[in-house]
Structure 1
């Protein structure tokens, strides 16, 4: 049986984890917003998407590809870190309600980040060269997001949704 001291220590550990995750996600969001701003500046020449590569100067296209690579690399890094966070939350000895709180923080960040990283798929030249790494990262990001959402909803939430 857990002693009151053990319960308090567990609560303190969870509070530290939740606060640490919150602070970390805010820093990551700042980085993602900065990359999005740089990418938006690099595509300011485009009036519609997908855009014709001939509508941009060589310098504009060079800047576009630089900023796109930076955003794509950030997407890959963020996805790797989110996957690691997801596993850490899953394996920690927190109560289910505490894990849900952490997954909610993660999902909030992921939903915002997804809207930014989606630009890698929509704000593109035509034709866009195949990018296997981007496709793999996108699929992995979605798996992590679905897993986190599943943990927030729980099995009972899924059964209620399926019954409707």
Structure 2
């Protein structure tokens, strides 16, 4: 291994470790917001729930927890998009980039399950939320792009031979 190869490997190891540490911290925030949201929806027996089944205080708690989870979803999606672009533009080997994308996808699958509650645990009379719809679409685009990179775009662009 040449000194430049060792330096590149060291830089990648540092990036992978940093990403892993960062994703763990972000996941802790997601779990915290999801737990608060679960507490705020504890009054509901089924979803979508009737607004009339909740007190004004329960509805206020629900809305505050929902807003916190939605805002976290928006922030996380913005950061994931930035990470996705950073991985794509770094000069790492393709196999190394795939490792980083796999870390990202693992996080997105776990966090995505928490954020999905914004769509399922709702009152029956919920006004359309354009910001949530845009964030959800962007989150899905980032996830799909990461999946394509794990599968290997070059392999997807070649035609199979018979």
Matched, 1:117 2:84: no
User: Aligned partners of 1:157, 1:66: CA distance in 2, in Å?
Assistant: 46
Structure 2 equivalent of residue 73 of structure 1 = 71
* From 88, 91, 96, the counterpart of 1:90: 88
- TM-score using structure 2 length: 0.95
Structure 1 equivalent of residue 130 of structure 2 = 132
Task: Write out per-residue CA displacement over residues 62-81 of structure 1, whole angstroms, 9 at most, x where no aligned residue.
Answer: 00000000000000000000
SS in structure 1 of the partner of residue 107 of structure 2 = helix
Matched, 1:50 2:48: yes
Taking only aligned residues, the RMSD between alpha carbons, in angstroms, comes to: 1.7
SS in structure 2 of the partner of residue 51 of structure 1 = coil
Report the alpha carbon displacement of residue 154 of structure 1 after superposing the two structures with TM.
Answer: 1.1
Counterparts of residues 135-154 of structure 1 (less than 5 Å)? 135-154=133-152
Structure 1 equivalent of residue 7 of structure 2 = 9
Structure 2 equivalent of residue 155 of structure 1 = 153
> How many residues align structurally?
160
Task: Write out per-residue CA displacement over residues 7-55 of structure 1, whole angstroms, 9 at most, x where no aligned residue.
Answer: 0000000000000000000000000000000000000000000000000
Report the alpha carbon displacement of residue 155 of structure 1 after superposing the two structures with TM.
Answer: 3.0
User: Aligned partners of 1:155, 1:15: CA distance in 2, in Å?
Assistant: 23
